Structure 1
């Protein structure tokens, strides 16, 4: 399992970065990382079948990747961490907060969802996800995968696994959401593929929740709107309150 540690000269709680589907550390957080490491140690992790971590003969699930993440942090000796996840990475961070609350200090997510995609996505977002073809290979994603992956031939299998994972996801119960005691910020662009009403309803169930909807932004907020993300994220990590 590939990971990077940045900002080693800093003390304090590390920030764990969790990338989106079909992406890697650089493509997800390349614009954010240089700024984030100025103030804190950062651990960037690449999940099964993504970036430099090879795919293996195992389905993908948010729960399993959360367990992988927690195990890696244990091996690194990181007793507690903050988490920032984009899309799939946010779903993983949420599962870490539920399954391994002892390692979680604060969690921030963007472009993530908390229920079945039929109800959590916009109509357009749902149609787009379910229509991902078997030969899905946009160059902006596939070229990086071919360059970084130790098993680039596994790309079609990873595409299938990501689609199956999303379609099979049943979401979180109200009790699970209310059981997340860590400060938890939901971030999204106002034109995200995730339905904003779904995000508001989820936010209301979090005991220590914060909500930030960025205007004139979409699912690619960490890349196209990284300045706003940086401001929101650093305020949340430093203060843990609504922006």
Structure 2
């Protein structure tokens, strides 16, 4: 079977992600925790063991989340086939001034899922339930890729719950991806081997083929928001993309133009990996936009 360029890039990205997020997690730990001195090399693993973490149950799924720091709340949402660790560099930038809420999306990382098909609306509902459980009236949202789409959905359907939104490398329609990366080509692709990250984190690693199939079907058919839908977003929004992103530049421009109170940032020298490759630029823009500089 032919495997689309998008899928090849995505799976190569997953392999690289394990390396990048592990190192980022160690840096996150070393920057904020000093009590263990010479044992800092344990990095991410010690950070995880002492960071508050818990679950909330929504529609048959257990959603895992972690919290860091103090201050105004910000919900940080990772991309598809990833986990909290994928946003380590952004968490590190936010944790000194914010109460950071970092969930594993339904079926991702340590979170389980139900028998229902995956959808951005369903994962957005999970985030709303999490916000409710934490008794938060409003949150800022920072999302990358699928996390950006979840953030857009939350801001569209529940505008009173999102204070500010940062949407990084997100598309609002399946047509918004580069032609060579079209998700509509993914329906007949082979299931790749279970990634190490999924084997280590997932409640049931044997569930990988089912979960992977659900993600591929979601990518192939969603999202399908209209410019009119986007116009209902009330939150000031920062739209970010890499200059060679998988999301087409004209699509990103449409997204930014459709949201009433929006700004747009195109980061040179980066693609869909902009949150890693150009993390200092992206993080600085996030902090400035959220008013934390």
Normalised to the residue count of structure 1, the TM-score between the two structures is 0.90
Counterpart of 1:125? 181
Assess if the C-alpha contact under 8 Å between 1:15 and 1:83 holds in 2. Answer: yes
Aligned equivalents of 1:219, 1:129: Cα separation in 2: 19
SS state of the match for residue 202, structure 1?
Answer: helix
CA shift in 2, pair 1:222/1:132, >3 Å: farther
Corresponding residue pairs, total: 231
- Which of 69, 89, 92 is the aligned partner of 2:127? 69
1:134 is displaced (CA, Å) by 3.0
Does residue 3 of the first structure (1) align with residue 65 of the second (2)? yes
Assess if the C-alpha contact under 8 Å between 2:236 and 2:262 holds in 1. Answer: yes
Counterpart of 1:21? 80
SS state of the match for residue 236, structure 1?
Answer: helix
- Which of 192, 198, 202 is the aligned partner of 1:136? 192
Counterpart of 2:246? 193
SS state of the match for residue 106, structure 1?
Answer: strand
Assess if the C-alpha contact under 8 Å between 1:80 and 1:105 holds in 2. Answer: yes
Counterpart of 2:55? none
Structure 1 residue runs of 4 or more that deviate by more than 4 Å after TM superposition: none
Normalised to the residue count of structure 2, the TM-score between the two structures is 0.75
Counterpart of 1:58? 116
CA RMSD of aligned residues (A): 1.8
Structure 1: stretches of 5+ with no match in the other structure: none
Counterpart of 1:112? 170
Aligned equivalents of 1:64, 1:172: Cα separation in 2: 15
Counterpart of 1:160? 213
CA deviations 1:159-209 (Å, max 9, x no partner) are: 111111122225212221111111011101011110000111221111001
CA shift in 2, pair 1:73/1:88, >3 Å: same
Tell which deviates more after alignment, 124-133 or 76-85.
124-133
CA shift in 2, pair 1:110/1:132, >3 Å: farther
SS state of the match for residue 220, structure 2?
Answer: helix
Counterpart of 2:54? none
Assess if the C-alpha contact under 8 Å between 1:191 and 1:216 holds in 2. Answer: yes
Which structure carries more helix by proportion? Answer: 2
Structure 2: stretches of 5+ with no match in the other structure: 1-62
1:60 is displaced (CA, Å) by 0.5
Assess if the C-alpha contact under 8 Å between 1:5 and 1:41 holds in 2. Answer: yes
Aligned equivalents of 2:112, 2:183: Cα separation in 1: 29
Counterpart of 1:35? 93
Counterpart of 2:201? 148
- Which of 205, 224, 229 is the aligned partner of 2:282? 229
